[in-house]
Amino acid sequence: MKVLKFGGSSLSTPATIRQVGKILLASRRREPLIVVVSAFEGVTNRLLDCARLAERADPAFEEAFKHIARRHRDAVTQLIKQGRARVRDEVDALLAELHSTLEGIHLLRHCPVRALDMTASFGERLSAFIVSAYLNQKYPAAFVDARDFLVTDDQFTHANVIFKRTNPRARKLFAKLTKRHRGRVIPIVTGFIGATEDGQTTTIGRNGSDYSAAIVGAAVNASVIEIWTDVDGVLSADPRVVPSAFVLPQMTYEEAMELSYFGAKVLHSATIAPAVARRIPILIKNTFNPNAPGTLISTRSVDDGKLAKGITSVGDLALLTLRGPGMVGVPGVAERLFRTLAARKVNVVLISQASSEHTICFGIRNIDTSRAVDAIRHEFQFEFHEQSMQVDVKSDQAILAVVGEGMKGRPGVAGKVFDSLGRQNINISAIAQGASERNISCVIDTADQVRALNAIHQGFFETRKRLALVVIGVGNVGSAVLRQLHQQRDYLLSKGFDVTVVGLANSKRFVADAKGVNLGAWEFALQSSPDRMDPATLAERIAEMELTNAALVDCTVGPSIVDAYPAFIEANLHIITPNKWANALPWRRYATLMELLERRQKYFLF
């Protein structure tokens, strides 16, 4: 028996639901299935918006409800051919129940969390019913309401699962269903929702459908839990930020949980806990590319020769430092600090303390900063009054984490992280590493987050050296440079160098493209560019690319581009030029330019 979970992106349209159906029909030939589904993409948020609008007596809730109803009715029309009237009646009954719930909120002008959970539950209930009805036309499928077996407490919106009640009920329900259909049935289960002992509807938190799949998989002792989403697997970094990120074929539970804690989006560490406890493998697959192998998460650690497995980050943080002589040698300071933060419901995401005991650094969400500072000042009011302690706040920080089992016992890993950041002139505010050696975390400025991720990814994973060039001046020298780069591209790649021209300019126009200018048609690109040449504007555009290894190639003969060198250096570019004007600057300007190059750790090659 295996469990398959499909998220909202896999259920966004009738076409994607048909794709899900193909996957299920192919999978059931190999092994019996249980399927857990989320709401259609975006529906949960719309339902919660409906409830809030109704609470405010905003008549717009009716229009929002109509949109939800229309979307599900359209899905029935497009997907169901056999028994459509019966399915439509069932869907209409669910929609009527939803409307009644919203009307109740509207009349009371109040939406208690219990009503919010009831409202949110309709997304999965509608989705699971429609998917089961569609599949039932091709193979026996049964709608299963998770409230019939998934028992929780009454902490509405983030209810806790009572496993000693849930597990036997789940086993009994699925065994009975299998027996009734003689093993020829695919149960389609509502994710995200459960019920209290007395039958009140609850939800188990965002990412709840993944959690539901793990709960079901653990209860029936599944051979594998497959999480079907819209990416090919867990990637080495966020591909929206690091274009060279790649799919990881395999990783351990611990690596997956470390990556997810620090921002990786495919999985949430808490949601896979039931599967981890039973050592059930988790396979991440792409609904839209089912032939891709995906990422297998299990107990098995594979030595692929790489030090790190992945790099991730989480931003919007503040770094607080409690410091002072009143901490040195005094027992219980850390306990008092974290107890008072917990009492104010301030979540601490990173802790770093020097052995001198003079400081404790910790990272929290920016939004919690004032509450945390107030709590600290109250708890340590005597020490603050005596000026033996103080608290410093550094806002707009990000935590960058390098994760991997291969880092254990390997000297130089931390040095490689710090060297990669140092070369980019990125300052580290705090560092944390556990004794497991599985994670090295650094706190940096949020403004440096993208550049830091790319720099470390290049340092750990990329065999080719990447170099981005901005070429200004396309006369005899400049055009010869471009011609050589175009002709020798394959040769350079074979030698491990990936050189791209991301900026190109003559005296009239410029082109800036982070993916690289086509050097086979650079003249046309310049002629057709709408951007008029202005060195400061070009430098700004290049700075927005947040390049980690780049150089300005100045092939001009006059002083105008030399005047803009500081802007390009600040944009993280080295300077390469046959232009003599920089070396002929007045001494003070020349010295200032050299100081800037040294401070930014950039080369000036003449």
Which is more confidently placed, 412 or 366?
Answer: 366
Mean pLDDT of the chain: 92
The pLDDT assigned to 201 comes to 97
Residue 245 to residue 191: CA distance in whole angstroms: 30
The pLDDT assigned to 238 comes to 87
Q: Specify if 89 maps to a domain.
A: yes
Q: Specify if 21 maps to a domain.
A: yes
Q: Please choose, from the candidates 74, 68, 70, the residue with its C-alpha nearest in 3D space to the C-alpha of residue 14.
A: 74
Residue 135 to residue 351: CA distance in whole angstroms: 50
Asked if the model's pLDDT at residue 227 lies above 80, the reply is: yes
- Tell which of 169, 204, 230 closes a domain: 230
Number of compact structural domains in the chain: 2
Asked if the model's pLDDT at residue 550 lies above 90, the reply is: yes
Residue 236 to residue 247: CA distance in whole angstroms: 6
The pLDDT assigned to 239 comes to 86
Residue 19 to residue 114: CA distance in whole angstroms: 35
pLDDT digits (tens, 9 = 90+) for 343-361: 999 999 889 887 767 889 9
- The tokens for 417 are 């992280």
- In 447-547 the beta strands, taken as DSSP E runs, fall at 465-472, 497-505, 510-512
The pLDDT assigned to 268 comes to 73
The pLDDT assigned to 523 comes to 92
Q: What is the mean pLDDT of residues 584-595?
A: 94
The pLDDT assigned to 74 comes to 97
Q: What is the mean pLDDT of residues 199-203?
A: 96
Q: What is the 3-state secondary structure (H, E, C) of 266-289?
A: CCCHHHHHHHHHCCCCEEEEECCC
State the number of CA atoms in the 13 A half-sphere of 554 facing the CB. Answer: 28
CATH code of 121's domain: 3.40.1160.10
Q: Specify if 580 maps to a domain.
A: yes
The pLDDT assigned to 302 comes to 75
The pLDDT assigned to 171 comes to 96
- Tell which of 230, 246, 270 closes a domain: 230
Q: What is the mean pLDDT of residues 192-216?
A: 93
pLDDT digits (tens, 9 = 90+) for 75-125: 999 999 989 999 999 999 999 999 999 999 999 999 999 999 999 999 999
The pLDDT assigned to 300 comes to 84
CATH code of 481's domain: 3.40.50.720
Asked if the model's pLDDT at residue 542 lies above 70, the reply is: yes
Which is more confidently placed, 462 or 125?
Answer: 125
Asked if the model's pLDDT at residue 368 lies above 60, the reply is: yes
Q: Specify if 371 maps to a domain.
A: no
Q: What is the mean pLDDT of residues 53-82?
A: 95
Q: Specify if 507 maps to a domain.
A: yes
Which is more confidently placed, 271 or 513?
Answer: 513
Q: Specify if 82 maps to a domain.
A: yes
Q: What is the mean pLDDT of residues 314-331?
A: 88
- Tell which of 196, 230, 264 closes a domain: 230
pTM for the model stands at 0.81
pLDDT digits (tens, 9 = 90+) for 247-257: 999 998 888 88
When pLDDT is cut at 50, 70 and 90, the band that residue 265 belongs to is low
The pLDDT assigned to 581 comes to 92
Q: Tell me the residue range of the domain where 78 lies.
A: 2-230
The pLDDT assigned to 163 comes to 96
When pLDDT is cut at 50, 70 and 90, the band that residue 365 belongs to is very high
Asked if the model's pLDDT at residue 156 lies above 70, the reply is: yes
Q: What is the mean pLDDT of residues 323-334?
A: 86
Q: Specify if 519 maps to a domain.
A: yes
As a whole-number percent, the residues of the chain with pLDDT over 90 amount to 74
Instruction: Give Cα 265 distance to the centre of its chain.
Output: 3
When pLDDT is cut at 50, 70 and 90, the band that residue 146 belongs to is very high
Which helix (H) or strand (E) is 180 found in, with range? helix 163-180
Asked if the model's pLDDT at residue 263 lies above 60, the reply is: no
Q: What is the mean pLDDT of residues 367-376?
A: 94
Q: Specify if 80 maps to a domain.
A: yes
